[in-house]
Amino acid sequence: MSVETPLIGDFQPFPSASTEGSLAGVRVGVVTFPGTLDDRDAMRAVRLAGGTAISLWHGDHDLRGVDAVIIPGGFSYGDYLRAGAISRFAPLMEQITAAATGGSGALPVLGICNGFQVLTEAHLLPGSMIKNNSLHFLCRDQRLRVENADTLWTSDYAAGEEIVVPLKNQDGQFVADEHTLDELEGEGRVVFRYVGENPNGSRRDIAGISNAAGNVVGLMPHPEHAVEPGFGPDSSARGEVDLRGGTDGLGIFTSVLKKLVG
Amino acid sequence: MPRIVVDVMPKPEILDPQGKAIAGALPRLGLTGFAGVRQGKRFELEVAGEVTPELLEQARSAATTLLSNPVIEDVTRVEVIQEDAE
């Protein structure tokens, strides 16, 4: 599957792409399931960060030699049964699970929204998501705090730094038993936390977590929708921005590219 | 044709937002006698022939792997029912 660039307007790669051309050598795969919505956006985010985006199909058995994988948002299999429950058994997920649990040098995997749900269903991340406590589908710009800046996906941020990225989901309430929550907190595996009012009832305001090794990260909000001036949120945690000028999510993608090139 | 029924319920300690919403709607119908509602799922696995012990075992396996998520749900029933039963 080929993906044209640009989708809209002039395509301006992130400045680091020209100064650190080697970032373009990092191949980040983006998985498409039936019902995935944000695969194109995630691929565009990878390219804007300076990397090379590779389209992966859920039914394939081949990871195409990618250096990292993003499982994007959407409604894979229509969220039938439970969000992510059917996708988890897709052929490509077997490859991803095996590669992501391969010890040192394990494949970096990021799950966004539905991708996070898939990762919990696949037991690559603990806990699960249930319906928002409001029962409403939420779509808003959400302020988050980066609690752990040591993961492969957050190293371009400072610990404690705040970012604003869109949040849009129905089943966004993160739940886990108290023991698991204590473990996540104790091991520094809470990667993102909601700032301000908890939007969906998630335990301990958790918006994103990592596995013990730190290579697998999942979060409910959408960093890939806050990477390009003109198409992002109207606000940024870094100060005032133009209308739709928020690009606080780009650091997620530059983080993994820089880590992998190094 | 026999069917294997699998019931899945949210774990007691997991808040059930859907059940809560239903509980909130009942009094609007004048049905005020219920202290709470929890919403689960019922699956019916249709069997073409006879339900063998192996098939029942497969149903149990399906119940705990695909049909439920043990983090948030319990399988409360795996039972064979014959046609016209229940």
What pLDDT does residue B84 have?
61
What pLDDT does residue A130 have?
95
Q: Which residues of B23-56 are buried (b: 16+ CB within 10 A; e: fewer)?
A: beeeeeeeeeeeeeeeebeebebebeeebeeebb
Instruction: Evaluate if residue A245 carries a pLDDT over 70.
Output: yes
What pLDDT does residue B14 have?
87
What pLDDT does residue B68 have?
97
Report pLDDT digits (tens) over A116-136.
999 999 999 999 999 999 999
Q: Let me know if A113 is a catalytic residue.
A: yes
Instruction: Evaluate if residue B79 carries a pLDDT over 50.
Output: yes
Measured between its terminal Cα atoms, the distance across chain A in Å is 29
Q: Which residues of A171-190 are buried (b: 16+ CB within 10 A; e: fewer)?
A: bbbbbbbeebbeebeeeebb
Report pLDDT digits (tens) over B30-73.
999 999 999 999 999 999 999 999 999 999 999 999 999 999 99
Q: Let me know if A136 is a catalytic residue.
A: no
CB-nearest to A133 from B17, B67, B69 is B17
Give the amino acid at B43.
F
CA distances (Å), origin A105, targets A108, A215, A221, A227:
8, 9, 27, 27
Tokens of A117: 């749900």
Confidence at A170, pLDDT banded by 50, 70, 90:
very high
Subunit contact A173:B17, Cβ cutoff 8 A: yes
Nearest C-alpha neighbor of A248 from the set A227, A230, A219? A227
| The CA-based dihedral angle spanning residues A16, A19, A24, A28, taken in that order and rounded to the nearest 10 degrees | -30
| pLDDT over 90 percentage in chain A | 88
Owner of token pair 């939420």: A138
* Mean predicted lDDT score pLDDT of chain A: 92
Instruction: Evaluate if residue A102 carries a pLDDT over 90.
Output: no
**Least Cα separation, residue B13 to chain A (angstroms):** 9
Confidence at B82, pLDDT banded by 50, 70, 90:
confident
What pLDDT does residue A17 have?
45
Question: Which residues from A are below 8 Å from B69, CB to CB?
Answer: 82, 85, 121, 128
Instruction: Evaluate if residue A16 carries a pLDDT over 70.
Output: no
CB-nearest to A175 from B18, B66, B72 is B72
What pLDDT does residue A262 have?
73
Window from A16-25, A27-36, A112-121, A138-147 with minimum mean pLDDT:
A16-25
What pLDDT does residue B15 have?
84
Peptide linkage before A223 cis (omega within 30 of 0):
no
**Least Cα separation, residue A133 to chain B (angstroms):** 6
What pLDDT does residue A11 have?
54
What pLDDT does residue A2 have?
46
Tell me how far apart the alpha carbons of residues A148 and A210 are, in angstroms, rounded to a whole number. Answer: 9
Tell me how far apart the alpha carbons of residues B41 and A242 are, in angstroms, rounded to a whole number. Answer: 47
Subunit contact B15:A130, Cβ cutoff 8 A: yes
Pairing of strands A216-219, A206-210: antiparallel
| The CA-based dihedral angle spanning residues A132, A137, A244, A20, taken in that order and rounded to the nearest 10 degrees | 60
Report pLDDT digits (tens) over A63-81.
999 999 999 999 999 989 9
Q: Which structural domains are found in chain B, ordered by start?
A: 3-81 (3.30.1280.10)
Strand blocks (E) in chain B: 3-10, 41-46, 73-81
Measured between its terminal Cα atoms, the distance across chain B in Å is 14
Nearest C-alpha neighbor of A32 from the set A77, A66, A67? A77
CATH assignment of A16-261? 3.40.50.880
What pLDDT does residue A1 have?
44
Instruction: Evaluate if residue A5 carries a pLDDT over 60.
Output: no
- Give how far the C-alpha of residue A256 lies from the chain's centroid of Cα atoms, to the nearest Å: 11
What pLDDT does residue A14 have?
53
Pairing of strands A138-146, A190-194: antiparallel
Tokens of A35: 């019902």
Report pLDDT digits (tens) over B10-37.
999 888 988 999 999 999 999 999 999 9
Instruction: Evaluate if residue A10 carries a pLDDT over 60.
Output: no
Tell me how far apart the alpha carbons of residues A230 and A208 are, in angstroms, rounded to a whole number. Answer: 26
Tokens of B37: 């509602």
Predicted TM-score (pTM) of this structure: 0.89
